[in-house]
Structure 1
Amino acid sequence: MRRLELHPKSVRFSTNENEQNNPRSASMATLPTLVSSPLNLVAIRDDEQKKLKQLLTEIEGEKCIVIDPFLSKPLNFITEGVALLKQCGAAQIMSLAPVLGSFTQPNLVYFLMPIAKHVNTAISSIHKLQEQEINARVFLFFFPYCTRVAKELLKESGVSDVCTVMNTDVNIYPLDDDILSLEISSCYPDLYLHNDLTSLQLVADAICSMEQFYGVIPEITAIGANAQAVVDMVLQSRVEGRLKEVDLPPEISRLVVIDRSADPVTPFVTPLTYEGLINELLGIECGSVTVSEKAMGKQSDKPVLIRLNNSDSFFQELRDENIARVVRSLNEKAIQVKEESEARPQDGNSTINEIIDFRYKLPELIQKKKFLETHLGLLNAVTTVTNSDAFHAAWELEHQVLAGECTPQDIAALADVGTPLATVVRLLVLWSLVNSGLKPKVFDEARASVTQFFGLPTLLLLHNLQKLGLLVPREAAGNFATLRSRMRLVQDGVDGLSMADMSYVTSGYAPLSGRLLQALTLQGKVSDEIARLLAAPVRETRQVLRTASGDATLRKKLQLVVFVGGVTFTEIAAVRQLKQLANCNYETAILTTNILNGSKIIRELSEEVPAIPIPPRE
């Protein structure tokens, strides 16, 4: 049994003795710049802004805008804070609630996702306004559009008679230079548990929108049934003439659509990248994390919002590194910042040019100190957990499961020593996926053990896991062992310091989805042998190009990878690692329904999650 080595206790960081006692403050990072994107994502953001701005400016007079809490963070990537809204006459902004605060503007504009619960909240607040005889024009802006269910709710409540409903068609949110998200937060249970296929149409719509900007994508690979359904929708839209004819030379040479069910294992494997662990342990939501100052090694419990994107130069370098390497990298940065601070001109011993030069560099130095302080605090919060014996024990057992070296009884026994439910269930799910289920008797024993230790409420979770095929009794032998060997999914001796192979992202396991992309990137296809072993079908499609010049030659090699059902930070790091390979001729951008991990899946399946009420347009 090998020991996970992080080495975080071997170093001590400080840029200045007094700085460690200063109050915590948020990172100086802002919204992502999008300047180093392989695609011109600014065009996407500008177009989404244009749609929203046009609708808002059609409403004369000042506006009070009421924002659905599901929208507030993703919308920030389009409106860049409240600046755009204020330009369009927003004099007041408040959060959606059954009873709104006071406002004096003649126009009340709701920003809503078509989620039944939130539509009903808006209806309640409008009824309250009617009771109070508040005279205002009411507008309901739906993101991306009002659905049949939402229309029925509005009609049944009588609200549709007193308000104006408008579709924004805004649904692509640029989270960073290479990541676009539709932010369908509950896509996984809605798609796989409730068989709600709405997210597939939304993904297809997003791909069609991108083709309007970047040209028709000539090569398409779909992995998984839902991925194929998305591609069929895209192709059908073109056949039916619902899309404008695109005469642009294609900027994207290949589209790869991956159904989450094609690689169900990876979300349940613990990430060891810096960004992955921050999400796993602290929770990243729409590119930011909120933590208490105490978790970051301070005395106060005051919450701090930290943006995590490429506008933070430290995070841009550290995000995809294994936690073992992050410790070393931050140590080096601390030394560098200290040396730059000590290089300040000394009174009486410096020339005018030296003083001017230092003053010129001072803002950047202050920013570096701020970034360093932020990431030392985040690292402290993360390594407080990763240094624990419980974390190491769970990680070692997890990798034994992946290598086929432990039993379900070993996992179930964790409950006896107080291991949290999420950890026990994740490991059982992982074992079930790797081994095509548990023997029926062992399956019953494992379920009984979980129910006994964690209570009857876990029955709903266990039922949902079985319904999704994540934790099931074995019916037949599977192919994971063969895939593990053929695709080199499990690697020995990975310390995380070298990023030469994508298995560094977990210190030993390479995501199956990442290996499939590696094959597509380097060999141009998934081999027939691997395609037969996968639980998901693989289909290749070519689209006919019609460029203005008649020349279909691609200007650059770039692939758009679309994850239907969610992507993990583990996979994002693995995809980014591909460009470090010597024979890789592709840059990659990612479009996803949402970002998830195993803990999020388990939380969602532990609840009675209603289906997303976003059926296709009428």
Structure 2
Amino acid sequence: MAHLSGRRVNLQLLRQLGRKEFSSCFEEINGTICIGWCDDALRDALNLIVDMPYLQEINVIKMFVAEKGAIVPNIAPNVVFITKPNLDSIQLICEVILRTKENDRSSDHVKYHLMFVPRRCFLCEERLKEMGVFETVKDRIYECAIDFYPLDNDFFSMELPECFREYCLEDDTSSLFVAARGLNCLQNMFGTIPRVYGKGKAAELVFQYMARMRGETSTGNAAISEVTPVFDNLLLIDRSVDLLSLLPTQLTYEGLLDETVRIRSTAAKFPATIFKSEDRQTQQPLSETIEMKKIFLSSADPMYIETRDKDYRLVGPHLVKKLDTIKETYQKHKQKDTSMAELKLFTSNLPHLIAEKENVSKHTAIATLLKDKSQTMDFKEQIRQEQNLLFMDSSIIGSSGPVDLDKSNPFVETSIAKQEPITKVLRLICLQSVLNNGLKQKVLDFYKREIIQTYGYQYLTTLLNLEKAGLIGSPTARTMPSIKKTLKLIDMEFDFRSPNDIIFSVFDGYAPLSVRLGQFIRTPGWRSIEEILKVLPGPKIDERQEVPTALRKKLEDPTVASTFMNADNPQLTLVFFIGGVTFAEVSAFRCLSANDENGAEFVVGTTAVVNGNSFIEALMDDYSHAFDTTELTSYSQKSQRKR
């Protein structure tokens, strides 16, 4: 994890803090430990903090999946269930404990522990009481307050994809409280951030929670707050402010990978066959199950640093050039006139060259997978339709003709008739609605009717959720054209081979609104876009945080202040997304940081990494067990036995 400390902000400290918090929960546990997981996503996230060698140091000897029908392995005197504060997970844990007690009498000596990440939950403890399990664990319930997981040296996440749904649909602000707690903890490590900007209701709530917590603990943390600030600005962005940037297909290498295979906690799974030679693929016997290979994707991989923020169409040629360079190095040292000194140097570099060649081959296989996807007619038509919607006031014409945002989209109608994936259909409808500041009632009713009749009545609540979230709805004041023009969100003459502004490349001619908000903090300032900020949803934040008097005097010293503004030390802004961020937006911020003309550098934090599909899926209600008659059958059999 050395790559986490490669920038001005050492995010390795977040990992160390998380380890300390995690290990503190195990201090009072005597004997060997068996860990039970019921959430793969949480396990992957915690793997960024505590790996298997570290777990073995704290006496963990086995891990198992707490799934339906599972029984706790009877190999350790302590069993620790690690879970998010989720009722479904608690229900599952209770069932596993009760089933183990019923089927394995030798497990009576086992002590059960329950660890909540990142916070305890009263409702979950009430469920434990309802299930008759609370007495079993009541003295062994822990809160593991790991708020942030470092994903890279300029990017961290809370890994809470349910955050937007909770605060937007369910009026549950508990994740916002955790975000505020984490940001205050970050300020304890890196100094009080002098200037705070923000936009949106959730951003205002997080800032209020931060101020309240600082007020409550100001005395205890007086010494810590003397740390000289590393960050100059904090920008809090409520995802509701910029729903538009979630919906188009991401066209960076990293973004399209996430759209295709879903990157989760810096790792993605690929079919193992794509990394094998053609001869080995043909020799491999046919199997019903596809072997998957897990690949880690972060700045620990030098080739990934070079390619992740590029347009996916430029990655292939870049890898070919890299491979040609490696081949030239090999060929050069096969010549007869090679001296012994050169040969010795080549031999010492040989392990590095071999590793580099294997790495390039790995990314070539992944890039080929993306190329195959991008060459399908479905993908091309999807991108074309998104471009038509984004550039609806330009002369771009797709195969279906110009798009009229006030009418139903023929491509959407065709997709519904073909029963394309529901997320694909909803994504295009939401894109049309957001760009048009709502849909005419006739068009909205038509889309709803077509979806319900084609996909089923279970999606009625999904449509209602999308309305409440602001993704679809009736027409409001048409402000999007002025927003696009003032913030320069569209480049009509965009060419991915030589873009005028690099941040347009992440969405093929569209610059994310959220990134423009961050860019305008430095130059020309938020005062220049005051009118636009008024039409964007939610309140605006522009506050100065109080810093200790001694530190304030130090920062007001011209000789000290100049160090924050010179070219070698550009203004550093922490941008925190509440509700999720896409990899494309992160890439755009990286491009701004790399551009010396901006005089600004960015670190991005978020509640979760999302894309258009995963964001919409989080707003869907789960009806997978709505018609499950298992419990009814079980109840009927018990009733018959009693008779």
In the superposition, the TM-score normalised over structure 2's length comes to 0.85
Report the Cα distance in structure 1 between the residues aligned to 2:478 and 2:321, rounded to whole angstroms.
46
Are residues 1:256 and 2:235 paired? Answer: yes
Please tell me the residue identity of whatever aligns with 2:377.
D
1:601 aligns with 2:580: no
Residues 367 and 551 of structure 1, relative CA distance in 2, 3 Å threshold: same
Q: CA deviation at 1:573?
A: 1.0
Work out whether 1:537 is the aligned partner of 2:539. yes
- Contact preservation (8 Å) 1:201, 1:233: yes
Structure 1 partner of 2:497: 497
Percent of aligned positions with the same letter in both sequences?
A: 27
Corresponding residue for 1:127?
Answer: 98
Distance 1:116 1:91, change over 3 A: same
CA deviation profile, 1:570-617 (whole Å, cap 9, x unmatched): 11111111123343222211110001111112223333399xxxxxxx
- Give a deviation string over 1:313-347, Cα, whole Å, max 9, x none: 1111100111122122112112112223334457x
In structure 2, C-alpha distance between the alignment counterparts of 1:412 and 1:345, rounded to whole Å: 59
Equivalent position of 1:412 in the other structure: 412
**Could you tell me how far 1:293 is from its partner in structure 2?**
3.0
Residue 282 of structure 1 corresponds to 261
Q: Which has the higher relative contact order, 1 or 2, with Cα contacts under 8 A spaced 6 or more apart?
A: 1
Q: Which of 11, 15, 19 is the aligned partner of 1:45?
A: 15
Report if the CA contact (8 A) 1:496-1:505 is conserved: no
- Picking from 588, 599, 605, the partner of 1:591 is 605
Which residue of structure 2 lines up, in the alignment, with residue 196 of structure 1? 172
SS at match of 1:34: helix
Worse-superposed segment, 335-344 or 533-542 = 335-344
1:418-451 C-alpha deviation (Å, 9 max, x unpaired):
6543323211111111111111112222223333
Q: Which has the larger radius of gyration?
A: 2
- Partner residue of 2:191? 215
Instruction: Tell me the amino acid that sits aligned with residue 12 of structure 2.
Output: V
Cα distance in 1 for partners of 2:333, 2:75 equals 53
* Correspondence 1:270 to 2:249: yes
Distance 2:4 2:457 in 1: 48
**481-490 or 287-296, which deviates more:** 287-296
- Report the Cα offset of residue 146 of structure 1: 1.4
Partner of 1:24: none
CA distance in 1, matches of 2:119, 2:534: 39
1:274 to 1:457, Cα distance in 2 relative to 1, 3 A? same
Question: What are the superposed Cα offsets for residues 183-219 of structure 1, whole Å, 9 maximum, x if unpaired?
Answer: 1022222222222211111110110110110111110
Contact 1:53–1:84, Cα closer than 8 Å, also in 2: no
CA offsets per residue over residues 521-547 of structure 1, 9 Å max, x none? 322325212212322332201011116
Task: Report the equivalent of 1:613.
Answer: none
**Structure 1 residues 575 and 417: alpha-carbon distance in aligned structure 2, compared to 1, 3 A threshold:** same
Are the counterparts in 2 of residues 227 and 564 from structure 1 also a CA contact under 8 Å? yes
Pairing 1:244–2:232 present: no
Deviation at 1:453, TM superposition (A): 4.0
The answer to whether the Cα contact below 8 Å between 1:429 and 1:470 also exists between their aligned partners in 2 is yes
* Letter paired with 2:379: F
**Which residue of structure 2 lines up, in the alignment, with residue 563 of structure 1?**
577
- Whether the 8 Å contact between 2:72 and 2:97 is mirrored in structure 1 is no
Q: Which residue of 2 aligns with 1:362?
A: 350
- Give 1:232 deviation, angstroms: 0.7
Distance apart, 1:108 and its partner CA: 1.6
Q: Larger helix proportion, structure 1 or 2?
A: 2
Alignment of 1:341 onto 2:330 = yes
Distance 2:10 2:491 in 1: 37
Look up the SS of the partner of 1:56 in the other structure. Answer: coil
Q: Please tell me whether residue 393 in structure 1 is matched to residue 381 in structure 2.
A: yes
Mapped partners of 1:371, 1:236: distance in 2: 49
- Which digits, 9 at most, give the CA deviation of each residue in 1:378-436, with x for residues without a partner? 11111111112222222122122112251233343332566543323211111111111
The question of 1:551 aligning with 2:554 is answered yes
Residues 369, 71 of structure 1: alpha-carbon distance in 2 compared, 3 angstrom cutoff: same
Question: Deviation string for 1:471-516 (max 9, x for gaps)?
Answer: 2232x32210110111111111222223533111111111110111
Match in the other structure for 1:291: 270
SS in 1 for 2:188: helix
Alignment match of 1:175 (pick from 151, 155, 166): 151
1:117 aligns with 2:119: no
Q: Is the 8 A contact 1:296 1:381 kept in 2?
A: no
Counterpart amino acid of residue 570 in structure 1: A
- CA gap of 1:188–1:341, structure 2 versus 1, over 3 A, is farther
Q: 2:32 aligns with which of 62, 85, 88?
A: 62
Kindly tell me: are residues 460 and 296 of structure 1, through their superposed partners in 2, closer, same or farther at Cα, counting changes over 3 Å? farther
Q: Distance in 2 between matches of 1:154 and 1:454?
A: 36
Matches of 1:174 and 1:108, distance apart in 2? 28
Residues 68-217 of structure 1: matches in 2 within 5 Å?
Answer: 68-69=38-39, 70-79=41-50, 81-98=51-68, 99-131=70-102, 132-133=104-105, 134=107, 135-163=109-137, 164-217=140-193
Q: Deviations over 1:93-116 (max 9, x none)?
A: 222235235232222222221111
Instruction: Give the structure 2 partner of residue 402 of structure 1.
Output: 390
Pair 1:160–1:418, CA change in 2 (3 A): closer
**Count of residues in Structure 1 that have an aligned counterpart in Structure 2:** 577
Q: TM-score, normalised by structure 1?
A: 0.88
The code of the aligned residue for 2:490 comes to V
Contact 2:10–2:153 at 8 Å: present in 1 too?
Answer: no
Listed one character per residue, the Cα deviations across residues 141-191 of structure 1 (whole Å, up to 9, x for unaligned) are 221221111221223333332221111211211011111111102222222
Question: 1:79-131 deviations in whole A, cap 9, x for unaligned?
Answer: 1x211111111122222235235232222222221111112222222223333
Offset at residue 279 of structure 1 (A): 0.4
